[in-house]
């Protein structure tokens, strides 16, 4: 039926043309942007995931930059430590030479003074981005502010959407050649009166107790180091039976050495370390017939408990006695003078060897940090690539398909336009009937 009031064919053709225009607009946007999901209206779920992942990719890029900065700091400190190791070897050789009869010690001291200045120069110049890990402001103990730093290593997003930043911690107390106030690898200990010396060993010195049942042992107070020159002896009794336990570097290394994250360095860094050391000294190092303690508890507190036959007896723990084969403050490498008539060469040699081993340990510590940062950088690059691929799978357009679709829509649009033109000519055909 033909009508001059309603042109159903033109309306149908116009509706089709509008639909094709809309499809073409979407396809053209895909071709122009390369994205199948460019805005939330395209696919709200995929758009939300992709937008979050793009944000995470940006954060990962910042993490990679931070890792690069951290790697540079580690590399700078490592080069300083490596150079110091060589100088200490030369320093030791000179000190050994000075012990020969008839040698000109003044000439050797001149050489030693030059080596000292070179060590100081290295420690002062091993700085990157305003941080010098070999010469810090620490005051001789790990627990103080500034004794640790960190390198940003990861950006983490949990299942519930919360985010966090992971770090690689760096213990500067293992690296500092010199500290303000003393206590660096190449320095003597600070004055014990300042509260940073052996007088505050983990709350141990000055500790004593007595009573029945489980008696708490000395609590961990702050990180400290038992060197090979230190011996801490504790006398105790259970009823009429008397005994002692001894804490030395050997005991610390027995308890902690070889575990992941620990070296044979005599360092006691936490309550868990302290409990293991006390357990080693009071129980594990005792032969069963000789032990007076049956169990020692654990973290955070260790308990003294008498063996069952002596359970009703009074336990008394005497104040510990600390002895050291070196002066309490130790020896500073900058103070070594082979021309001093009262110099103790055996002690100086031991101290230099101890310093050398600590510097070697510092180099090994930095080497492990460098390896970990390199592994984290490689993983970060792989993770960023994986995220990019994942985003692409969600929102990228198939350009071959989009191109073919666009061409097909252009043909359909032309046909629809032609159809609309034909439909619009119906009125002219009706008009011809009245001529």
Q: What is the pLDDT of residues 114-123, one digit of tens each?
A: 999 999 999 9
Which position has the higher pLDDT, 94 or 433? 94
Residues 124 and 172 in one domain: yes
Structure confidence at residue 181 as a pLDDT band (50, 70, 90): low
* pTM (2 d.p.): 0.59
Residues 299 and 351 in one domain: no
Same domain, 415 and 402: yes
User: Within this chain, do residues 57 and 178 fall inside the same structural domain, yes or no?
Assistant: yes
| Coil, strand or helix at 134 | coil
163, 237: one domain: no
For residues 241 and 319, state if they share a domain.
Answer: yes
Q: How high is the pLDDT of residue 5? A: 58
Class of residue 83 by CB neighbours under 10 A (exposed 0-12, middle 13-18, buried 19+): middle
The secondary structure of residue 433, as a DSSP letter, is T
Helix (H) or strand (E) holding 238: strand 230-238
Of 356, 374, 390, which residue constitutes the final position of a domain? 390
Average pLDDT over residues 391-395: 80
Range of the domain at 425: 8-34+397-432
**C-alpha dist (Å) from residue 323 to 199, 201, 227, 230, 320:** 12, 13, 11, 6, 10
Secondary structure, 3-state, 177-207: CEECCCCCCCCCCCCHHHCCCHHHHHHCCCC
User: How many Å separate Cα 43 from the centre of its chain?
Assistant: 40
Task: Identify whether 424 is part of a domain.
Answer: yes
Structure-token pair, residue 399: 């350009």
Shared domain check, 163 and 50: yes
The tokens describing 427, both together, are: 């009125």
Q: Are residues 126 and 186 in the same domain?
A: yes
Instruction: Please tell me the predicted confidence (pLDDT) of residue 139.
Output: 41
52 and 146 together in one domain: yes
Is the model's pLDDT at 85 over the cut of 90?
yes
pLDDT confidence of residue 192:
46
The pLDDT of residue 195 is 35
Question: pLDDT at residue 141 above 50?
Answer: no
The model's pLDDT over 327-341, given as tens digits with 9 standing for 90+, comes to 656 788 988 999 988
**1 domain-assigned:** no
Residue 203 pLDDT level (bands cut at 50, 70, 90): low
239/318 same-domain check: yes
State the total domains in the chain: 3
Q: Who wins on pLDDT, 311 or 287?
A: 311
Res 138 pLDDT > 80: no
State whether 73 and 204 are in the same domain: no
Residues of the chain above pLDDT 90, percent: 20
185 contacts: CB under 8 Å, gap ≥ 6 = 175, 176, 177, 355, 358, 359, 362
Please name which of 134, 142, 147, 128 lies closest in space to residue 70, comparing C-alpha atoms.
128
Lowest mean pLDDT among 41-45, 66-70, 111-115, 198-202: 198-202
Considering the domain architecture, whether residues 125 and 77 belong to the same structural domain is answered as yes
User: Of 305, 324, 343, at which residue does a domain stop?
Assistant: 324
pLDDT of residue 243 exceeding 80: yes
| 16-25, 79-88, 307-316, 379-388 — most confident range | 79-88
What's the pLDDT band for 374 if we cut at 50, 70, 90?
A: very high
């Amino acid at each position: 039926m033909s009508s001059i009031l309603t042109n159903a064919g033109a309306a149908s053709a116009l509706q089709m043309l509008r639909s094709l225009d809309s499809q073409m607009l979407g396809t053209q946007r895909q071709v122009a942007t390369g994205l199948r999901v460019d805005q939330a209206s395209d696919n709200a779920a995929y758009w939300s995931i992709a937008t979050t992942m793009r944000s995470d990719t940006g954060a990962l890029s910042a993490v990679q930059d931070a890792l690069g900065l951290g790697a540079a700091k580690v590399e700078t400190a490592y080069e300083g430590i490596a150079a110091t190791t060589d100088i200490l070897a030369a320093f030791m050789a000179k000190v050994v030479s000075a012990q020969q009869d008839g040698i000109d010690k003044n000439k050797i001291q001149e050489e030693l003074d030059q080596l000292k200045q070179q060590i100081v120069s290295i420690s002062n110049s091993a700085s990157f981005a305003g941080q010098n890990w070999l010469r810090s402001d620490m005051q001789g103990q790990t627990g103080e502010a500034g004794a640790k730093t960190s390198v940003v290593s990861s950006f983490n997003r949990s299942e519930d959407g919360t985010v966090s930043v992971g770090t690689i911690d760096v213990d500067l107390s293992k690296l500092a050649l010199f500290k303000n106030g003393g206590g660096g690898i190449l320095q003597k200990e600070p004055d014990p009166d300042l509260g940073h010396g052996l007088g505050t060993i983990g709350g141990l010195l000055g500790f004593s107790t007595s009573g029945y049942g489980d008696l708490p042992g000395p609590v961990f107070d702050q990180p400290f180091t038992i060197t090979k020159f230190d011996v801490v002896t504790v006398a105790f009794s259970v009823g009429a039976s008397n005994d002692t336990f001894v804490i030395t570097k050997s005991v610390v290394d027995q308890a902690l050495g070889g575990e992941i994250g620990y070296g044979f360095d005599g360092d006691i860094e936490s309550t868990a370390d302290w409990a293991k050391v006390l357990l080693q000294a009071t129980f594990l190092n005792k032969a069963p017939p000789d032990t007076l303690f049956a169990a020692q508890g654990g973290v955070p507190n260790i308990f003294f408990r008498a063996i069952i036959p002596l359970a009703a007896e009074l336990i008394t723990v005497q104040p510990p006695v600390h002895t050291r084969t070196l002066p309490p403050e130790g020896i500073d490498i900058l103070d070594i003078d082979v021309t001093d008539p009262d110099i103790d060469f055996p002690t100086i040699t031991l101290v230099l060897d101890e310093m050398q081993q600590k510097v070697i340990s510092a180099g090994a510590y930095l080497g492990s940090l460098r390896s970990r940062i390199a592994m984290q950088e490689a993983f970060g690059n792989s993770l960023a690539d994986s995220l990019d691929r994942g985003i692409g799978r969600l929102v990228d357009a198939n350009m071959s398909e989009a191109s073919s679709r666009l061409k097909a829509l252009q043909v359909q649009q032309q046909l629809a336009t032609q159809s609309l033109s034909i439909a619009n000519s119906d009125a002219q055909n009706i008009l011809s009937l009245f001529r």
